[in-house]
């Protein structure tokens, strides 16, 4: 790179001409980075518009309220399955994740906290297919191909998200708040739960919602655990269970238009839920992250 030094060719130019060139480069690069930013958001609009257009003709009451084998097929069991498996995954990993995050932020020594951070980093980096393999190897032999195994496979992915966000937001709570509470003679556990955690509650909630949205959208772990089914399976975690991502994955390459149409319609529903959850929790904090 030329750094600040000017090339021989530039040095031979009249000073005015050189400045003109530099101004022109500046203008061009401004347009280039603008264009890059525009390109970066383009896929979002393209995707949302395209999925919506393909899905709209197939959104009927039957789509939402019938099961795949009904005469007017729908994906009710997949919607229910996705919601209940994600809910169960969060029910199991939410408390553990929050408690672990609180420990790492409030009680762990610097050494333990840094080990904890590395562990969470690695867990966050686990490819979803590997989480699925793990559940397939360890849980399926015990629980069978079932909603239980599916929920726990999703839990492997949600646990580090909850733990990380809890730890981060707990750290942001000013020490003076804890000290004020402790100075009043309130025991540490009450201070932590009712003062520190309560102050950090919106952030913790954000982490839980993000984890839920991740769980709702995951496909790979469910392929080899919950497997999918055509039967209705409301709260029946003991057998194979359907989920929206599984429906999209399996219907995508179907031969008939109706099945493919249902894949698009399911994709629209799934995308709408995921986007809505993210819009709600992210929009509130976007100002502070950009400013």
Restricted to residues 79-108, the positions that interact with other proteins (CB under 8 A) are 95-104, 106-108
Instruction: Figure out which of the listed residues 13, 59, 87, 274 binds other proteins, where binding follows CB under 8 A.
Output: 274
User: Closest separation between CB of residue 112 and other proteins, Å?
Assistant: 8
Binders of other proteins among residues 115 to 134 (CB under 8 A) are 115-116, 118-134
User: Closest separation between CB of residue 71 and other proteins, Å?
Assistant: 25
Nearer to other proteins, 127 or 174 (CB): 127
190 forms part of the interface with other proteins (CB under 8 A): yes
Whether 117 contacts 104, CB under 8 Å: yes
Nearer to other proteins, 73 or 272 (CB): 272
Among 165, 147, 153, 150, smallest CA distance to 238 is for 147
Instruction: Figure out which of the listed residues 11, 20, 37, 172 binds other proteins, where binding follows CB under 8 A.
Output: 37
Whether 121 contacts 184, CB under 8 Å: no
Instruction: Figure out which of the listed residues 79, 90, 211, 270 binds other proteins, where binding follows CB under 8 A.
Output: 270
Q: Which residue has the tokens 């190897």?
A: 137
DSSP summary character for residue 57? G
Q: Which residue has the tokens 């809910």?
A: 87
How far apart CA 31 and CA 190 sit, in angstroms, is 55
Instruction: Figure out which of the listed residues 57, 174, 187, 238 binds other proteins, where binding follows CB under 8 A.
Output: 187
Nearer to other proteins, 76 or 265 (CB): 265
Nearer to other proteins, 125 or 235 (CB): 125
Buried b (16+ CB within 10 A) or exposed e, 226-262: bbbbeebbeebbeebbbbbbbbbbbbeeeeeeebbbb
Neighbouring C-beta atoms of residue 185, cutoff 10 Å: 6
How far apart CA 138 and CA 125 sit, in angstroms, is 20
User: How many positions of this chain bind other proteins (CB under 8 A)?
Assistant: 105
213 forms part of the interface with other proteins (CB under 8 A): yes
Nearer to other proteins, 71 or 189 (CB): 189
User: Closest separation between CB of residue 76 and other proteins, Å?
Assistant: 19
248 forms part of the interface with other proteins (CB under 8 A): yes
Instruction: Figure out which of the listed residues 10, 34, 72, 257 binds other proteins, where binding follows CB under 8 A.
Output: 34
Binders of other proteins among residues 53 to 82 (CB under 8 A) are 54
Whether 267 contacts 55, CB under 8 Å: yes
The residues, any chain, with a CB within 8 Å of residue 261's CB and separated by 6 or more, are: 54, 55, 57, 58
């Amino acid at each position: 790179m030329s750094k600040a030094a000017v090339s021989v060719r530039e040095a031979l130019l009249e000073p005015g001409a050189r400045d003109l060139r530099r101004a022109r480069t500046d203008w061009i690069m401004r347009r280039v980075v603008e264009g890059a930013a525009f390109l970066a958001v383009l896929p979002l609009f393209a995707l949302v518009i395209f999925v919506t257009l393909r899905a709209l003709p197939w959104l009927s009451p039957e789509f939402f309220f019938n099961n795949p084998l009904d005469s007017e097929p729908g994906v009710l069991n997949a919607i229910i399955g996705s919601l209940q498996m994600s809910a169960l995954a969060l029910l199991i990993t939410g408390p553990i994740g929050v408690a672990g995050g609180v420990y790492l932020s409030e009680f762990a020594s610097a050494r333990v906290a840094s080990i904890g951070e590395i562990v969470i980093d690695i867990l966050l980096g686990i490819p979803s297919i590997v989480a699925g393999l793990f559940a397939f190897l360890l849980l399926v032999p015990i629980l069978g191909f079932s909603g239980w195994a599916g929920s726990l496979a999703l839990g492997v992915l949600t646990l580090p998200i909850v733990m990380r966000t809890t730890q981060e937001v707990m750290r942001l709570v000013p020490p003076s708040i804890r000290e004020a509470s402790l100075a009043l003679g309130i025991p540490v556990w009450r201070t932590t739960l009712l003062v520190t955690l309560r102050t950090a509650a919106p952030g913790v909630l954000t982490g839980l919602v993000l984890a839920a949205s991740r769980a709702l959208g995951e496909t790979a772990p469910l392929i080899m655990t919950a497997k999918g089914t055509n039967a209705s399976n409301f709260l029946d975690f003991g057998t194979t269970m359907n989920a929206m991502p599984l429906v999209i994955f399996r219907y995508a390459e179907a031969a008939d238009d109706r099945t493919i149409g249902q894949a698009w319609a399911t994709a629209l529903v799934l995308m709408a839920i995921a986007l809505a959850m993210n819009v709600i929790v992210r929009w509130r904090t976007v100002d502070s992250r950009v400013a």
